[in-house]
Chain A
Amino acid sequence: MNENTKARLNGLLLSAAHKIGLFLAMAVICLPGLWIVLASFRPTVEIMAKPPVWIPGDLSFDAYVAMFSGVGQGGIPVIEYFRNSLIVSVTSTAIALAIGMAGGYAFARFRFKVKSSIFLGLMLTRTVPGIALSLPLFFVYSKLGVIDTHFGLIMAYVALNVPFTIWLIDGFFRQVPKDLAEAAQIDGCTRWQAFWQVEFPLAGPGIASAGIFAFLTSWNEFALASQLTRSVNSKTLPVGLLDYTAEFTIDWRGMCALAVIMIIPALVLTFIVQKHLVSGLTSGAVKG
């Protein structure tokens, strides 16, 4: 065979293999999620059917209707859970952002002694497994009487999110050239004004994505929430998911429906954040 034809054939083969590989990878990533969405629209008999029913015959919103129909009628207090999740996530994110911005700015713009040790120390607080932290926190919170309150959960999530928020925001401030703030100061700004007028707007999109990341962490957290919440007063969606499990059975359809409710806000936010998140992580980490 001609050398050129062979080389071309090789190229075609490679690109075909690439396409197939890409398709398979994407399928594996998407399939579990899609299966959940599908199951939430199917009647339980179809989910449980043996042999399995592959082509859904009967799609409906019954699971969602049942979920919202109130406790006692097969529903769960989903509105309350959603509200709790929202209050806790939003508040803890806002506080974590404020603290993280101050800290991130300190790391990005100042030189000080033992800087890298402090940074590592902050990160290490994040590595404490939620379950390990939940034991003493549970004890302290019971003494303080903040078990099963929004406040308790918010504080815990702020602490959980601050280290990583600082890492991200540090990275975003590093991307803003120092000269700009200096130029603003020469133009007559105070350091404070220079920050708000110049550096903050430029790092803004990055800070927003750090916020979304913190929000997602709080929104999805389970280990702490499962110990620090008790009732509809403060139970969040991940904990609420357990309402669909009984001692030996699981209401798969209802659980899938709740999962969909939980995932939608996360989906939307991640879509918004994707571009900045990566650049912040890498710039902070590589140029550190």
Chain B
Amino acid sequence: MKGWRPPAPFLLLLPAIVVLAAVVIVPLILSLYSSFTPFRLTQPASLYTFVGFRNYARILADREFWTAFGRTVLLLTVALNVEMLLGLGLAMLVEKATSGQRLLRTIMMFPMMFSPILVGFQFKFMFNDNIGLVNNALQSLGLTDQAIPWLIDGSLAFTAILVAEIWSSTSVFAILILAGLLAMPKEPIEAARVDGCTPWQTFRYVTWPFIMPFAYIAMTIRSLDVARAYDIVKIMTDGGPAKRTELIWTLVSRTAYADARMGLANAMAYVAILLSILFTVYFFRKLAAARTQIAAEW
């Protein structure tokens, strides 16, 4: 094969592929293997015992796992939808502002620069039942004289986590939808107004069809790292109280590092990975469809 040169795009992509293979793919293959063993960090020899699907059978039959799984899906569904609605609202508020656009946009991006772990601490601080801003404010305003156990009661804790998650990620939606609003040609909107549309109808029939792909972009980008909710939950409740805010990721972490049952944890992790991949692929397809539509029509 003298004179054969690999095609340029292959060469250009090679470093990316090598790094990802070394740091992501190979370890994942390893963890896939270990998910078929009863591997414990404390007993290295256990890595070589093959137990087939026993770990998977165990987690499939595990109530605790399925509760965490269900809670994770619930958290993501609620969070993504609320973030999208709030982001849309925020973007439209900012777009309509006649002055201070630059400042408003910068403030809008503010939560994006907060490390998720920082968001966790920040809201743990604010929702603290004794000294937190939320309870202090409620008490000072006379709305309640009790200390609401935000992070101690199961469903309140879930709500608090949701609030933190939404606070930290609404920006992503707002920014991308704002970019869509700014890229949108103004004349179809004016035409709609002259055609007799109320502001709501203008939004419903003209603006929304245009910015929908931007919402999908935001969804796709968000779906790439939905797991950052792990950091928030880890700090705020660490899955507690009594595992009532346990997400699939905190469960994996506990099983692996606290219980040292790597094999089992890896099996769980694979389910978590599958979940992430499903989310991402779903939105990528939506995005591709929306993208062709917008390229063809606008």
Give the contacts of A260-288 with B (CB-CB under 8 A).
262-263, 266-267, 269-271, 274, 277-279, 281-282, 285-288
Are B140 and A51 in contact, with the CB atoms below 8 A? yes
- Minimum C-beta distance from A251 to chain B (A): 11
Q: Does A99 lie within 8 Å of B96, measured CB to CB?
A: no
Question: Do A32 and B123 contact each other (CB < 8 Å), given the known contacts A135-B252, A159-B24, A270-B112?
Answer: yes
Q: Which residues of A contact B28 (CB under 8 A)?
A: 128, 133, 136
Interface residue A230 (Cβ < 8 Å from any Cβ of B): no
**Tally of A-B Cβ pairs under 8 angstroms:** 268
Q: Does A164 contact B (CB under 8 A)?
A: yes
Q: Are B280 and A262 in contact (CB under 8 A)?
A: no
Check A29 for interface membership: any CB of B closer than 8 A: yes
Q: Which one of B27, B118, B126, B136 lies within 8 Å of A259 (CB-CB)?
A: B118
Residue in B27, B124, B139, B226 whose beta carbon sits within 8 Å of that of A136 in the complex: B27
A30: interface (CB < 8 Å)? yes
Instruction: Tell me whether A288 and B291 are in contact (CB under 8 A).
Output: yes
Would A287 and B280 count as touching, CB distance under 8 A? no
Q: How far is the CA of A245 from the CA of B292 in the complex (A)?
A: 50
CA–CA, A287 and B228, complex, Å: 28
B5 to chain A, nearest CB (A): 14
Question: Which of A66-74, A104-112, A174-182, A197-205 forms part of the interface with chain B?
Answer: A104-112
Let me know if B239 is at the binding interface, CB within 8 A.
Answer: no
A52 to chain B, nearest CB (A): 4
Flag B175-218 by CB within 8 Å of A: 1 or 0 each.
11011100100000000000000000000000000000110010
- B46 nearest CB across to chain A (Å): 13
Among A1-9, A57-65, A115-123, the one that faces the other chain is: A115-123
Interface SS of chain B: helix, strand, loop or mixed? helix
Say which size band chain A's interface belongs to. 35 or more
How far is it, in angstroms, between the C-alpha of A279 and the C-alpha of B182 when the chains are bound? 10
- CA A55 – CA B216 in complex, angstroms? 44
A282, B215: Cα distance in complex, Å: 10
B19 lies within 8 A of chain A by Cβ: yes
Q: What residues of chain A lie closer than 8 Å to B90, measured between beta carbons? A: 25
- Top 8 nearest A-B pairs (CB, nearest first) are A129-B227, A220-B115, A159-B23, A136-B27, A132-B269, A136-B31, A106-B12, A52-B136
A-B contact sample (18 more), CB < 8 A, given A106-B12, A163-B20:
A22-B104, A25-B90, A30-B110, A36-B122, A54-B136, A102-B12, A122-B16, A128-B28, A129-B226, A132-B227, A132-B272, A220-B113, A220-B114, A274-B109, A279-B179, A282-B176, A286-B217, A287-B295
